[in-house]
Each structure stands twice: as C-alpha cells, then as structure tokens.
Structure 1
C-alpha cells in the first residue's frame, strides 16, 4: 500500500505543464474516463484550455437504424446515454474554452444535447455537424443565438434553409465559411445570397449542383474568395419532358464569373475516384460507404479535418 501511495504522490507531484503535454495525446474517451478525479493537480491539468480548443467527437457514433418517417433514424437509447455522459464531463472540464466542435456524420445529436453543448461552449468558432436528422428548427436556432462568434459551419443540405441562414445572419457577424454536404439547388443558392452576402469560403464538393444555382452563387456572393465544386455533379434541369443535362465541362459563362475568385476548385475527371462516387450516387453521396478519410476531406484546407 505504501508503494502505491508513493507512486500516486509522484504522479501528483508532476508539473502541470508536463501533465497537460501527456493529456494532449489522449482521445476523448481517455480524457473523460475519470482521470480528473485522481487528484487536484490532475484535475487542474485536465481543465487546461490547451486540451479543449477542439472537442473532437468523431470517435463517437450513434447505434441507429434507418426508418421511413422523420427524423428517418432511430437511435438506440444507450448511444444517447453515452453521448450525454461524454458531453457532460467534457463540457465541465473545458470551462467554456471550446472553439471547435466536430461530430461524426453518424452521430445523431438531439435538441437537448445540442442546447446543453451550446450553453457550455459559447465561444465556439467552428462547428462540424454533417447530420442533424434529430435537430429541430427551434434547437438549431437556439444554439446559433448563443454562438455569436461562429465563423465556420459544415452541415448537410436541408429542405428549408432560409430560417437557418437568417439566424446566422442576425447573430454571427464574423461568419465567413460554409461547407454543405448535400445537393445545392436554387433555393439554397438564393438563400445564401440573401442572408450571407459576405460569405468568403464555400465548399459544395461531391454534391449535385444545379447550373442555375451556381450562377446565382457566383453573381450574388460578391465577397466570395474561395469556391470548391470539386467532384460535383453539375446538371441543368430544363422544362419537361426534356431530360436533365449533365455537364462534363464548365462553359464560358461560368468560367468568366469565377475568374474574380482567388480560388475556384473544380474536378470532373472520369479517372477521379471521388468524381466516380458522386456520379454513382447521383449527387446524393452515401458517405457511410466510403470510410473516414473521404468525408473528412476537403480541397479547402481550412475546411478539411
């Protein structure tokens, strides 16, 4: 027993900076496993802001099944309990210092969990939440109102985008980067130009993109500096009965409009694996098929994970 106590005292006597350096190598499960309970020195180290600039929850996934009705997923209760436990411990230790929050695309957070998170990391600058089947309008709007410092958002496409973009416009004056993991139609494009005219970086990679929507974006977002449409399925939908047209190359009208951008990232190559996947999935990419590196990737460095 004396040997164990001696070892414990030696660990407790370690300089906090050294402990923080060690804890920086820990994943979220290790950081929330109870190490903060060892002693007061360890708890101080566990609360160091260096550990909590980013809360990366990509190791967490919901145990779910697809269902035919909204929200189109049913999440096992144990998954929710695990997520809630991790959130409570992490957000308590972080003391409001989290600037970046990253969720896995198969982690289906609910309104209560999102609201709880927003209230405890009010300084958030970047949110990566590729799926929000279980998030209602009231939940995401309540969170956005807290996140006044939000600058960057990665999100799925949604059926009714105006309410969200309007909320961002009202509350997030520094907002400048958006990544949409899903189709971009005329409604989405028009919403962006109406509510986020100062957007500087936009990524639509691996999505179905209407040509008219692309023109609206290029004409309406006059402050846009970087646009990524790599691996997109660019289409035009004429009036019926004419079939939709898929573009193999960008025409002169698009290239002329895009010439003012600092970066215009494109790829439509038959030999490109990402382009092949977008075409095979008809612009509605099934991210779960392709592994971790694919959904985390982006040609825009500031949006890649």
Structure 2
C-alpha cells in the first residue's frame, strides 16, 4: 500500500468553501486588508467584497502604521459607501477627521456602535454636528481624542438610546475637573456601562453620575485618582454598581498601555501599542492609489 497521502487531501480549494464561511473569514481581516489585498485574490472574492452585508461592521484599525491618514480616510469612505447605508458598527483608530465623521453619519443612520481612538482630527464641533444623525447609537467609545464636555452633552441629548460610554483620558492634566462627569450625569440617564479611565473627576462628579445615571451597572474608575470615596460614597458605589473598578485597581486587562514618557510628549506618539499582540498582515502597496489622474477604482483592482 502506498503510504503517501492523496494530494487532493493535502490541499483545500478555498473557492469551494460555502459563501457564508468565506465571508466570515474575510471579515476577520478588517477593512484595510480586505480593500487593499484580499479582494484582489480572485473574482469570487472580489464579488463577495462588494456585497453591502460585508460592511455592516467596518474595522479601521491601523496596527502597522503603514498608511498615511489621507489614504486611510479614503479606504474608510469606500468601506462605508459599500455598505449602502447598512453600517452598524464602525471603529476608527489613529486617524479620523470631522469630514470623515460627517460622511459616516450622512451615509448611514443605522450606526449603533462608534469607536474613536486617537482621532486628533475630530473636534467637539465635529462630533456635536453629527450626533443628531446617529439616533440609534447605543455604544460610544472615545479614547485619547481632543473631545470635551461639549461633545458629551450634545451626544447625550441627541442619542437617547446610548447605553455604553467609554471616555478615556491621557492622564496628562493636573487638577480636578468635574465638567465631563456632570455632562454625563445630566445628559446620559440611560447609561448601563461607563468607563472613565484616567479622568480627573472628583467625589462630586462621581456623586452626580450615581444620581443622574440610575441604571448604571458597570463603572470603571481606574486611574481616577481624584476620587477618594469620602463618607459613604464607596458603599453606595458597591450597592448600586455590579461591576466596579476602583482607581488603584490593576490595569493589566486595560486595552491600551498607560505608559507615557516625556520623549513621547516632545514629538512622538502619546501612547505605545496595544497590550495585546495583533498579527501583522503583509499589505502590498500598489501604484495608482494617490494618483490624481486615477478615478479611484484602479486602486481596488478594477
């Protein structure tokens, strides 16, 4: 008997996979890898990558910093346009502008989850200006963006379904600031989950949140060192909040490293990479992407 395996058993024809399985695999790559690489593999994959259902979730994590911001914005716009108004979940990291945010809001009123990380090109005015166009928003995550109480107030007033808010700070400010906590307390009464990592709120701000957000079940106050839990405040938190993270609790499971050096402040990135390892995917850079004479489709292998 020939012990060698049948070659047919050694190699799988990926084109024979069921369509839903192929779609599930492709969506795990993220929008950047799909639009710049995966869809160029073959015609069936190309066709699948044009299906609006593939773009209900748009993940624009730029883990290897290979792309310029204007390139990422163009890719993101393309992904949003392909959804044909069906975007529900969108993640924009390390780039983003007010103009891009307006494009997202104008293209889809179905957005329920919006995540903005290190988007220094998005302002209070930009987020406030689109808040009313996101009436179904349920989860908003803002980390290390130049946004303040003004944007929080407008989001709270325009997005009545908001249940989860992350508003994480750089820990670079000195002093005590309750303005953001008060904006949350006065305008986001339906919150269930709140993360305020590195915020400068005080006991007064925390008291206001507990009073103004009666449905709150999860509260993360790690690195909020102005909160001292004087009086019965800690007991009230323990009674009202099911999942409570205190200022000095471990940050081992926090998504971002909290290390920030003076060298970073002088000209580099404020923060290091994620705590978790993210697999680098080789992305071929091909000509025609930023060619002014290009009609925009050449870059995507038309």
Query: In structure 2, what is the equivalent of residue 187 of structure 1?
Result: 179
Tell me, yes or no, if structure 1 residue 235 matches structure 2 residue 226: yes
- Structure 1 residue 117: Cα displacement: 2.1
Inter-partner Cα distance in structure 2 for 1:52 and 1:158: 25
Contact 1:207 1:278 (C-alpha < 8 Å) held by counterparts? no
CA RMSD of aligned residues (A): 3.8
Contact 2:191 2:216 (C-alpha < 8 Å) held by counterparts? yes
Instruction: Report the secondary structure of 1:146's partner residue.
Output: coil
In the alignment, structure 2 segments of 5+ residues that lack a partner are: 1-12, 279-302
Contact 1:16 1:42 (C-alpha < 8 Å) held by counterparts? no
Query: In structure 2, what is the equivalent of residue 201 of structure 1?
Result: 193
- Structure 1 residue 280: Cα displacement: 8.2
- The alignment's TM-score, normalised by the length of structure 2, stands at 0.68
Q: For 1:27-67, what per-residue CA distance to the aligned partner results, in whole angstroms no more than 9, with x for missing partners?
A: 3233112765788754441134553232111126779xxxx
Q: Structure 1 residues 208 and 290, CA, compared in 2 at 3 Å: closer, same or farther?
A: farther
Inter-partner Cα distance in structure 1 for 2:147 and 2:53: 38
Greater percentage in helix? 1
Inter-partner Cα distance in structure 2 for 1:12 and 1:273: 41
Query: In structure 2, what is the equivalent of residue 292 of structure 1?
Result: 274
Inter-partner Cα distance in structure 2 for 1:206 and 1:170: 24
Q: Structure 1 residues 88 and 288, CA, compared in 2 at 3 Å: closer, same or farther?
A: same
Q: Structure 1 residues 265 and 121, CA, compared in 2 at 3 Å: closer, same or farther?
A: same
Contact 1:16 1:41 (C-alpha < 8 Å) held by counterparts? no
Q: For 1:97-144, what per-residue CA distance to the aligned partner results, in whole angstroms no more than 9, with x for missing partners?
A: 22111122xx23112222112222321111111334322343222322
Inter-partner Cα distance in structure 2 for 1:92 and 1:37: 19
Inter-partner Cα distance in structure 1 for 2:78 and 2:28: 18
Tell me, yes or no, if structure 1 residue 95 matches structure 2 residue 74: no
Tell me, yes or no, if structure 1 residue 51 matches structure 2 residue 54: yes
Instruction: Report the secondary structure of 1:178's partner residue.
Output: strand
Query: In structure 2, what is the equivalent of residue 243 of structure 1?
Result: none
Inter-partner Cα distance in structure 1 for 2:111 and 2:55: 11
Is the deviation greater in 153-162 or in 197-206?
153-162
Aligned pair count reads 253
Q: Structure 1 residues 191 and 22, CA, compared in 2 at 3 Å: closer, same or farther?
A: closer
Inter-partner Cα distance in structure 1 for 2:45 and 2:120: 38
- The alignment's TM-score, normalised by the length of structure 1, stands at 0.67
- Structure 1 residue 95: Cα displacement: 2.2
In the alignment, structure 1 segments of 5+ residues that lack a partner are: 1-9, 64-77, 237-246, 297-305
**Which of 40, 59, 79 is the equivalent residue of 2:68?**
79
Tell me, yes or no, if structure 1 residue 254 matches structure 2 residue 237: no
Q: Structure 1 residues 160 and 59, CA, compared in 2 at 3 Å: closer, same or farther?
A: closer
Query: In structure 2, what is the equivalent of residue 32 of structure 1?
Result: 35
